[in-house]
Structure formats: structure tokens, C-alpha cells
């Protein structure tokens, strides 16, 4: 056990030292981020993707793939562990892919040992609110029981740093006014089994921190959106349930109108308010959480967002503005499990991680998402053939 604790301390100290070195070089040399990271790799003798190994469960999925790219760019080796039930092999471009299920404890132990994993970022899980209402038992099995298997495997292998992909769904509405932002100590009143399972997983992780000295950060993010600006990876859920790609499809695709679920909420225009955050900002926050100098035994939940809520109809208008054409929509009934408003207070993440959303204006999010939707490289099925060109693009 002492050897395991020593391993945790070495990981935390080395990651902390790397972060400090980067900050001091930035202050002293005034280099742009890209040149700064290249300088760091030369200084540390760390070529891209050959540094400490970080296990990324669910790394073939949307946020996981963007985080793997960010890890690789900083010099880490992202080891993607995914059963490919909803992820894509083609999204794994910056490190090895190991196929496996998070519920398989023995498989995890073997992978962690073989790759000398020193930290884990845990994305793998089910995310659809409506599906959780219809099949709550499945969500408890995947989001809670399988997370327990991962925690046990980490403890057996002496891995002492976890970054957990949590959600703003742990809050629900909780008696909060529609325009109020949410701090980490706000009342927890999940409005769906999905939120229940994320909250339960946090409890379990916090207990492991107290009992075994695990260091863990639970990142409660709000609405991930956008895509890699270079177009290498993007959002490719099948079926797609997220607002921005569906609104883009309504504007550029087959003309099928978007369904807006409810226009009778206690919000300025009657539609739900959400805090949209660019997926590259989320990836940067996960990297910062891996490197943050938290002590053994610490469990730190942190909100990731912009602090500004956008309504469904504001998103539709942004899509129309960027696309230069209307996005047809119809108003449907409320969707069970949807709170009127979820908007982050991200001050604590800025304080403890030195992180702030830098690319999360609605127009930037929509522009990057639209670039991906026009030419998806994987997982979009027939969607890419439904995207109609602008009139000016027709010869």
C-alpha cells in the first residue's frame, strides 16, 4: 500500500511541476500556446504522445475524443478504453484503442498495468435523459455499478488520480429561479434517473477518496457543443438527440423541422435555458484537472460552463445566422426530466484549475459544429448526404 501511495504522490507532483513550468514559461517568454507546448516537450524530453499514460474511458466518444487530442498535444499518452457501443474507432487518433467494458474489472486491471497508467479520465456511460426515464435500471448498471468496477481496478493498481465526467443534471431545478446560476453547493434535486446516477457515482467516488486516499475531480458540465475547429473529430451520436446538430440539420439538411420541447417554461421566451460550452473548452478543463495540485484524499466537484444561459430559440436564431437560412421548427410538449434552467457558476473552476471557457460564444460553437456537419469524417451515416449546399455553392 505504501508503494501505491508513493505512486500517487509522484503523479501529482510531476503533473503539478509540469503545470507550474508551463505557467512560468508563458509569463517569462510570452510564447503563444502552441509554441509554448513545443518548448515544454523539448525541455522535458517528452515528444507528443510519449509521456505519462492516461486511461480515457469512453475516449472514442464525443468529449472523450476531444480530450484525448488535448492530452496528446500536451505530451501525454491517451489510452482509450471503449466498448464502441456508441463511440467510433475513427475518432481514436492520438493513442492506442483498447476495446473493453468498464464493468470488466479484470480487463481494466490488465490494461492499466500493461500501459502503466498513472491517471484516469472517466467518460464512459449513458447520457440520454429520456432514455433514463424509460430504462432507469440500465443507467444504474452502466453509470454506477460499472464505475464501481473502475474504482476497484484503480485501487488494485495503485492509480490515485481520477477525473470524472459528471453533469449539471445532478442539480435539477431545486427551487432555484430561472435566471439564477448554480454553484457547486447548490441543492441537489436531479430531475431524471440520469441525474440520479451521476449524483450517486459522485457519492461513491467521494467515499473512495475518504477511505483510500484517491484524488478525484468531478467535472459537472452543462451542455457540450461544437467540434474540433480543424474538423478532425466532432459530434456523431446515433441517433442524434442534441439541440445544436439537430437545429443545423433542420437548416441545412432534409428540411425536417426541429422539435422544441415546450414553450411554457418560466424563462424569458418560454423555452429551456442552458449553458452551452465548446467541447474544446471542456477538453482543456479535463487536462487542467489531471494536472491540478490536489492532495491525496481530496474530492473536488467543479462546474464547467460560461455562466450565461441561452434559450432553445436563441440557439435556433444563432444557427440561422451562421447558416444564412432558416431552421424550421415546431413546438412540442415538454420532455419529462427537463428542468427549465441549468446555468453554471464557473468561478470555482477558474480559481482551482486556472480554467475559463475561451471558445464558447454561441456563434463560434455553431460555426465549428456546422463545419463538422457539412463534412463529417465518421459516424454520421446518411446525414452527410442530406446536407444541401448553399445556393451560391451550386454551379
DSSP per-residue codes, 70-93? HHHHHT-EEEEEE--SSS-GGG--
pTM score: 0.84
pLDDT at 210 over 50: yes
Confidence of residue 28 (pLDDT cuts 50, 70, 90): low
Cβ distance 279 to 318 under 8 Å? no
Active-site residue, from 171, 194, 276, 329: 194
pLDDT at 40 over 50: no
Q: What is the pLDDT of residue 8?
A: 43
Q: Report d(CA 258, CA 94) in Å as an integer.
A: 35
- Among 58-67, 190-199, 255-264, 318-327, name the one with the lowest average pLDDT: 255-264
Written out in words, the top-level CATH class of the domain with range 2-225+276-307+342-357 is alpha beta
Q: Report d(CA 81, CA 84) in Å as an integer.
A: 9
Mean pLDDT of the chain: 86
**Known catalytic membership, residue 43:** no
Confidence of residue 386 (pLDDT cuts 50, 70, 90): very low
Query: In this predicted model, what pLDDT tens digit does every residue of 132-179 receive, in sequence order?
Result: 999 999 999 999 999 999 999 999 999 999 999 999 999 987 777 777
Q: What is the pLDDT of residue 327?
A: 93
Query: In this predicted model, what pLDDT tens digit does every residue of 73-90 receive, in sequence order?
Result: 999 999 999 999 999 999
pLDDT at 22 over 80: no
Higher-pLDDT residue of 271 and 21 is 271
Domain map (residue ranges) of the chain: 2-225+276-307+342-357
Q: What is the pLDDT of residue 39?
A: 41
Q: What is the pLDDT of residue 19?
A: 58
Which grid cell is 104? 470488466
pLDDT at 16 over 90: no
The total of other beta-carbon atoms located within 10 Å of residue 391's CB is 8
Q: Report d(CA 79, CA 56) in Å as an integer.
A: 6
The residues, ordered by sequence, that sit 6+ positions from 73 with a Cβ below 8 Å of its Cβ are 37, 48
Confidence of residue 18 (pLDDT cuts 50, 70, 90): low
Amino acid at each position: 500500500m505504501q508503494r501505491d501511495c508513493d505512486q500517487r504522490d509522484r503523479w501529482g507532483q510531476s503533473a503539478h511541476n509540469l503545470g507550474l513550468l508551463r505557467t512560468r514559461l508563458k509569463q517569462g517568454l510570452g510564447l503563444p500556446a502552441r509554441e509554448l507546448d513545443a518548448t515544454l516537450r523539448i525541455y522535458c524530453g517528452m515528444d507528443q504522445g510519449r509521456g505519462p499514460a492516461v486511461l480515457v474511458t469512453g475516449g472514442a466518444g464525443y468529449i472523450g475524443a476531444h480530450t484525448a487530442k488535448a492530452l496528446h498535444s500536451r505530451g501525454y499518452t491517451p489510452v482509450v478504453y471503449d466498448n464502441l457501443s456508441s463511440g467510433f474507432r475513427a475518432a481514436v487518433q492520438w493513442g492506442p484503442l483498447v476495446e473493453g467494458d468498464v464493468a470488466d474489472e479484470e480487463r481494466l486491471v490488465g490494461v492499466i498495468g500493461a500501459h502503466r497508467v498513472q491517471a484516469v479520465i472517466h467518460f464512459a456511460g449513458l447520457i440520454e435523459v429520456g432514455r433514463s426515464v424509460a430504462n432507469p435500471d440500465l443507467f444504474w448498471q452502466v453509470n454506477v455499478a460499472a464505475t464501481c468496477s473502475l474504482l476497484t481496478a484503480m485501487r488494485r493498481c495503485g492509480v490515485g488520480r481520477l477525473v470524472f465526467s459528471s453533469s449539471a443534471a445532478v442539480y435539477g431545478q431545486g427551487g432555484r429561479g430561472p435566471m439564477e446560476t448554480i454553484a457547486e453547493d447548490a441543492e441537489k434535486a436531479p430531475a431524471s434517473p440520469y441525474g440520479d446516477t451521476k449524483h450517486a457515482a459522485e457519492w461513491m467516488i467521494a467515499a473512495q477518496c475518504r477511505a483510500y486516499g484517491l484524488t478525484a475531480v468531478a467535472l459537472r458540465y452543462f451542455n457540450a457543443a461544437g467540434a474540433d475547429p480543424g474538423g478532425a473529430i466532432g459530434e456523431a451520436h446515433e441517433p442524434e438527440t442534441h439541440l445544436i446538430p439537430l437545429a443545423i440539420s433542420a437548416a441545412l439538411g432534409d428540411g425536417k423541422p426541429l422539435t422544441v420541447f415546450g414553450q411554457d417554461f418560466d424563462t424569458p421566451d418560454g423555452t429551456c435555458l442552458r449553458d452551452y460550452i465548446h467541447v474544446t473548452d471542456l477538453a482543456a478543463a479535463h487536462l487542467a484537472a489531471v494536472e491540478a495540485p490536489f492532495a491525496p484524499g481530496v474530492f473536488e466537484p467543479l462546474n464547467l460552463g460560461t455562466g450565461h444561459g441561452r434559450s432553445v430559440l436563441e440557439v435556433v436564431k444563432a444557427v440561422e445566422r451562421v447558416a444564412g437560412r432558416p431552421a424550421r421548427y415546431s413546438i412540442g410538449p415538454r420532455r419529462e426530466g427537463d428542468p427549465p434552467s441549468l446555468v453554471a457558476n464557473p468561478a470555482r473552476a477558474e480559481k482551482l484549475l486556472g480554467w475559463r471557457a475561451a471558445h464558447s460564444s454561441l456563434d463560434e460553437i455553431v460555426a465549428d459544429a456546422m463545419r463538422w456537419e457539412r463534412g463529417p469524417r465518421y459516424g454520421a451515416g446518411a446525414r452527410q448526404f442530406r446536407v444541401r449546399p448553399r445556393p451560391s455553392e451550386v454551379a
